[in-house]
Amino acid sequence: MQTDELDFHLPVELIAQTPPEHRHDSRLLHHTRSTGEVEHRTFSDLPDLLRAGDLLVFNDARVIPARFTLIKSTGGRVEALFLTETAPGRWRVLLKNLGNVDAPLHFAADPSFFAVVVQNLGAGEHEIEISPPYPALELLGRIGRMPLPPYIHRQKDRDELDDLDRDRYQTVFAKTPGAVAAPTAALHFSPEILARLDERGIERTFVTLHVGLGTFKPVTASSLEGHAMHTEAYSIDQVAADALNAAKSDKRRIVAVGTTSARVLESQPVDEAFVVKSDETSIFIYPPYQWKHVDALITNFHLPRSTLIALVAAMVGLDTQRRLYQTAIEQRYRFFSYGDAMLID
């Protein structure tokens, strides 16, 4: 399959810069595969569109405030994105505008902390040593900013939207810290929606996949077969395994909330029961793909030429994916992380 087949023109004004006032106020495009029907709804309609007994599978990864700024001895600014803590006081980070630096850099938000670059890992990735040593998640919780994707623009390090992003670029059930991007399809779920799902007998369970930067990486190869998929860590606990096995046994629908949950589920063997597992996946789902576990999908509208839109095309077929996206553009749906949603069943 040629990557150009996943390209489309998106008017820039349709890229959502802020979330709606309430999580469930977003719009919902509902596509029924068996009939080809398309309905334009709001996300608050979702409980009425699902079936009693459906099992929603959410990603409970918690986004960490992974962005921060370092200051050179010259006063120059180095933009940083935390990736992982390799040892106490040792962080793997992406650095922008570093240049040639041999002196310590201090943290813009707290000059009592310094960072020394100890290794250049290539492609902007570096290992730094923090002084004084401090647990990464605790320090970032105090001085970090939410790692918004590059198409969401913020004018300052800290502005009036920072508190909003800390709240809204996070699901209401976020639990396990480590993601540097949100599982955005789940951002639409509010406590009110979850309560209505309970009333309707719609079940839910949680897996964890720590969303990485590869989520936003465009496919640069001319064909999808030539794209090297990023790897992400995931886990399935006993509660989730039991819920998934019960749904499969009862022949009830498994509804993946977002591409991250879908990738966790589809990384499991087709002919074996779900089990407790902590592993990594680099599964790349694109047409033609035979789905093993996911019966329906809730997802946002994704970037052109991305692995995410390839997954959607694998669910509905390339021609239908193009038609749905063109319809969404014509109907002025909001796109990407803070944008609207689509239910494919």
Supply the CATH number for residue 87's domain.
Answer: 2.40.10.240
Is the domain of 257 the same as that of 275? Answer: yes
Same domain flag for 209 and 324: yes
Distance CA 43, CA 57 (A): 17
Number of domains observed in the structure of the chain: 2
Average pLDDT, rounded, for the chain = 94
Q: Which of 47-61, 114-128, 320-334 has the lowest mean pLDDT?
A: 114-128
CB 81 within 8 A of CB 146: no
User: What residue type is 288 in one-letter code?
Assistant: P
As a whole number of angstroms, the distance between CA 209 and CA 92 comes to 19
Residue 239 has pLDDT above 80, yes or no: yes
Rg of the chain on CA atoms, in Å: 21
Residue 312 and residue 193 share a domain: yes
The closest alpha carbon to 245, from 214, 216, 277, belongs to: 277
Dump pLDDT digits (tens) for 45-71: 999 999 999 999 999 999 999 999 999
Residues 117 and 204 in one domain: no
CA neighbor of 169 nearest in space, from 145, 143, 193: 145
Collapse the DSSP code of 14 into the 3-class scheme (helix H, G, I; strand E, B; otherwise coil) and give the result.
Answer: helix
Whether 289 and 337 share a structural domain: yes
Residue 65, pLDDT score: 94
List helix spans (H) across the chain: 46-49, 136-143, 162-168, 191-199, 238-250, 259-266, 307-316, 318-330
Does residue 149 belong to any structural domain of this protein?
Answer: no
Asked if 134 and 19 sit in the same domain, the reply is: no
Local structure of 142: helix, strand or coil = helix
One domain for residues 246 and 298: yes
Residue 84, judged by CB atoms within 10 A of its CB (0-12, 13-18, 19+), counts as: middle
165 Cβ neighbours under 8 A, 6+ residues apart: 145, 146, 148, 154
Closest to 299 (Cα-Cα) out of 288, 286, 310, 312? 312
Q: Which domain CATH number covers 185?
A: 3.40.1780.10
Indicate if 52 and 104 belong to the same structural domain.
no
Asked whether residue 248 falls in the same domain as residue 323, the answer is yes
**Looking at residue 162, what is its pLDDT?**
77
- pLDDT band at residue 219, thresholds of 50, 70 and 90? confident
The rounded distance, in Å, linking the Cα atoms of 52 and 62 is 28
Evaluate whether residue 161 is within a structural domain.
no
Within this chain, do residues 28 and 119 fall inside the same structural domain, yes or no?
no
Q: Which residues contact 222 (CB under 8 A, 6 or more apart)?
A: 2, 3, 4
Residue 150 pLDDT grade (very low, low, confident, very high; cuts 50, 70, 90):
confident
Same domain, 271 and 339: yes
Q: Are residues 221 and 331 in the same domain?
A: yes
Query: What's the whole-model pTM score?
Result: 0.93
- Domain housing 71: 67-144
User: What letter does residue 135 receive in the DSSP assignment?
Assistant: -
